[in-house]
Amino acid sequence: MITPTTDPQPADFADVRATNLAVVLRSVREHAPCSRADIAASTGLNKATVSSLVADLIDRRLVRETGLTENRVGRPATMLVLDGSPYAAIGVEVNVDYVTAVAVDLSGERLLSWRRSFPGATTTAAQAVATVAAIVRRVVNRMAREERQVLGLAVGVPGLVGADGTVRVAPNLGWRDADVCGDLTRALRDPGFPVRVDNDANLAALAEHRFGPWAGTANLVYLTGEIGVGAGVVLDGCLRRGGQGYVGEIGHIQLDPFGAECRCGRLGCLEAVAGIGAVLEHPALSPAEVEIELDEVVRLARAADSRTLSTLAAVGHNLGKGVAMIANLLNPEVVILGGYYVPLAPWLLPAVEAELRGRTIAPDAGGCQVVASTLGYGAAALGGAARVLDSVDSGRLPRVS
């Protein structure tokens, strides 16, 4: 029998209030414009408590009043919407060939989006931290000029990232046991806001779950389509990380023991036979070069070039095998293809869907759909900002200035 080592402790009043503030804030985000009475009805909190909590959120400039509405039974009600104009959340993605930075306000409106070339395959973790720190300082300075308080920073990296922000291994970057979170916090000189590091696919899945066309879908998987292939997994409305935070490394499932060599050193990994490297004819060092080659692939595919169509079909079938594994194991409602897969989706999707139908044991592939992302190459960076906003929704609220 398992017994607790300490007696249960009563919840502190401040903790209860912080929880209730977060509940009200989420209610406004989900139902705005809404009244105090609407919030009381949807949350189960009494009207006096809701009025007190709303006043607190208005003082923090997280919520604002928008005037009266008369399109309801009874007296006109003062309606509430998210404010958050004094705040910003920052997300950054570090990838093999680029770095992206995004800042959003509390409602998810993009305040800036920057993308620059980055030689990740030949850059040490320390050099990458210095680059990211310089970019983040620029973003913070920009937000300061706009009189916005930064609520937090989350950085996405294509690799195994522990709960403490240490990158255990990032094969495509050549990093091992890099304390990216700690080093970045020190490089920013303890910036006064939380710094987090996470897997890029995890963050991209958060972005889709909060901002994409499938926002709110309870069971969703995002597949990165960069130099590497990884999966971010949302099940029952929550991001799943596993015991050590290493969920989603589908790119290194072996499909062909005699296949092409993967950057991880193994043969025939999904990444090697269905990643963007299997599409391009020769390696490229910058996003511009990759995108130029992709543009040429798209042009040839549209022109019905037989060799190009054959290559895309083969990549699509291999990718479909991976998607079918996901469908059989997790039964998601949707698998979203991101990154460089997006411009190739018209030619990849038919083969992916054929493999999904043929290899999934549940009828109609268990209801799983495969679609292309609409969030662009900055999905993981946007997901970093989403992670910061999720922490606000969970009760980590800014203090009254």
Banded model confidence at residue 11, pLDDT cuts 50, 70, 90: very low
Banded model confidence at residue 397, pLDDT cuts 50, 70, 90: confident
Query: Residue 215 has what pLDDT?
Result: 94
Cα–Cα distance, 323 to 325 (Å, whole number): 5
Query: Residue 283 has what pLDDT?
Result: 56
pLDDT in tens, 209-246: 999 999 999 999 999 988 889 999 999 999 998 888 88
Query: Residue 232 has what pLDDT?
Result: 96
How many degrees, rounded to 5, is the angle at CA 393 between CA 337 and CA 30?
75
Banded model confidence at residue 14, pLDDT cuts 50, 70, 90: low
DSSP 262: P
How many degrees, rounded to 5, is the angle at CA 277 between CA 274 and CA 279?
70
Is residue 179 predicted with pLDDT exceeding 50? yes
pLDDT, mean over the chain: 90
Is residue 260 predicted with pLDDT exceeding 80? yes
Cα–Cα distance, 272 to 251 (Å, whole number): 8
Helical axes 36-43 vs 47-59, angle rounded to 10°: 120
Query: Residue 5 has what pLDDT?
Result: 42
pLDDT in tens, 354-364: 999 999 999 99
What sign results for the dihedral spanned by CA atoms 12, 14, 17, 19?
Answer: negative
Query: Residue 120 has what pLDDT?
Result: 82
Is residue 69 predicted with pLDDT exceeding 50? yes
Query: Residue 172 has what pLDDT?
Result: 84
Residue with more model confidence, 70 or 398: 398
Cα–Cα distance, 350 to 133 (Å, whole number): 42
Token representation of residue 175: 């990093």
Cα–Cα distance, 128 to 97 (Å, whole number): 12
Query: Residue 96 has what pLDDT?
Result: 86
Among residues 92, 282, 292, 287, which one has the least CA distance to residue 184? 92
Cα–Cα distance, 23 to 43 (Å, whole number): 7
What sign results for the dihedral spanned by CA atoms 242, 246, 251, 257?
Answer: negative
Among residues 395, 392, 381, which one has the least CA distance to residue 150? 392
pLDDT in tens, 281-327: 665 556 667 888 899 999 999 999 999 999 999 999 999 999 999 99
Count CB neighbours of 164 within 10 A.
Answer: 10
pLDDT in tens, 296-309: 999 999 999 999 99
Residue type, 128: A
Cα–Cα distance, 39 to 215 (Å, whole number): 22
Give the containing element (helix H, strand E) for 178: strand 175-178
DSSP 5: S
Question: What percent of the chain has pLDDT above 70?
Answer: 93
Strand bridging mode 334-337 / 369-372:
parallel
Residue 213 has phi, psi (to 5 degrees) of: -60, -25
* 127-136, 343-352, 389-398: segment of lowest average pLDDT: 389-398
Banded model confidence at residue 7, pLDDT cuts 50, 70, 90: very low
Query: Residue 3 has what pLDDT?
Result: 40
The residue assigned the tokens 């705040």 is: 87
Is residue 10 predicted with pLDDT exceeding 70? no
Mean pLDDT, range 155-170, rounded to an integer: 93
pLDDT in tens, 110-151: 999 999 988 887 889 999 999 999 999 999 999 999 999 999
Helices marked H in 212-305 — which ranges?
Answer: 270-274, 287-302
Whole-Å CA distances, 117 to 93, 109, 180, 198: 12, 25, 20, 21
Is residue 8 predicted with pLDDT exceeding 90? no
Contact assessment for residue 62 and residue 24, using Cβ atoms and an 8 Å cutoff:
no
